[in-house]
Structure formats: C-alpha cells, structure tokens
Homo-oligomer: A and B are copies of this chain.
C-alpha cells in the first residue's frame, strides 16, 4: 500500500493558486496575440484602480481608457507573438504580482519588429477569478 506524503497534499491548493495566476498571465499574452478585444476585455478588472503602461507610453488609468488603448494597438498591429521568459509569481491571498520578460515579434504597417520588454503585471482576485489590474511594460 502506498501513502500520499502529507506535505504534498497540504501544498496542493497553494500550487494550484500560483498555477492559476500563471495561466491568467499567459491568457493575457494570448489575448494580445489574438488582437481580439473581447478576449482582452475578459482579462482586465472591471472596476477599482486599473493602470496600464505600454512601452514608451504615458500610463493609462481606469478600465475604459485602458481598453481603448488596446483597441488602438490592435488596430495598428497586423501580427504579434510573444515568448515569455523568467516568469516569477508572488501571491498573497487575493493579490498576485507576475514579473516576466516579453520577447516579441510583431508586424505593423508592413514592418516587422523584434523586441524585448520587461513587465510587472498585477492581478487581483475578483469573484473567484484573477483579473489584471496593472500592466507595466518598458
């Protein structure tokens, strides 16, 4: 008869929470790649403080203005893909911070661009699901 070690059983819920945050973080980049506003809208918190800093932009505050900025980016992007590296997740109850390196390849107005940005993403748990409240990339 085999026994499940007690430690791993106890640790399971916490691991799942970190994994849920990682999944939401990847979902954000998949939404960005899809250039689909409905998918991007589903990532962000609907109220409370929300901030987005796109590389080289001034920060944008509030859900409505942030979504408008994504609409503008999506309209001016024909293709974008991300490779994520050095992802670190810090969680404390209903707040999670993800630090990640964004390696991107994008096409806009016939020009292909390769670049690296560094992001700090903050997620807040709202009604059981993690929603993005800060995206700071530079």
Binding site for B on A (CB under 8 A): 48-49, 51, 53, 55, 58-59, 61, 86, 88, 90-95, 97, 99, 101, 118, 120, 122, 124, 133-134, 136, 138
The answer to whether A94 and B92 touch (CB under 8 A), given A59-B118, A138-B53, A138-B55, is yes
Q: How far is the CB of A128 from chain B (nearest CB, A)?
A: 15
Residues in chain B near residue A58, CB distance under 8 A: 118
CA distance A61 to B55 in the complex (A): 20
With a cutoff of 8 Å between Cβ atoms, the chain B residues found around residue A53 in the complex are 118, 120, 138
Name A's interface SS. strand
Q: Does B124 contact A90, Cβ atoms closer than 8 Å? A: yes
Q: How far does the alpha carbon of A103 sit from the alpha carbon of B138 in the complex, in Å?
A: 18
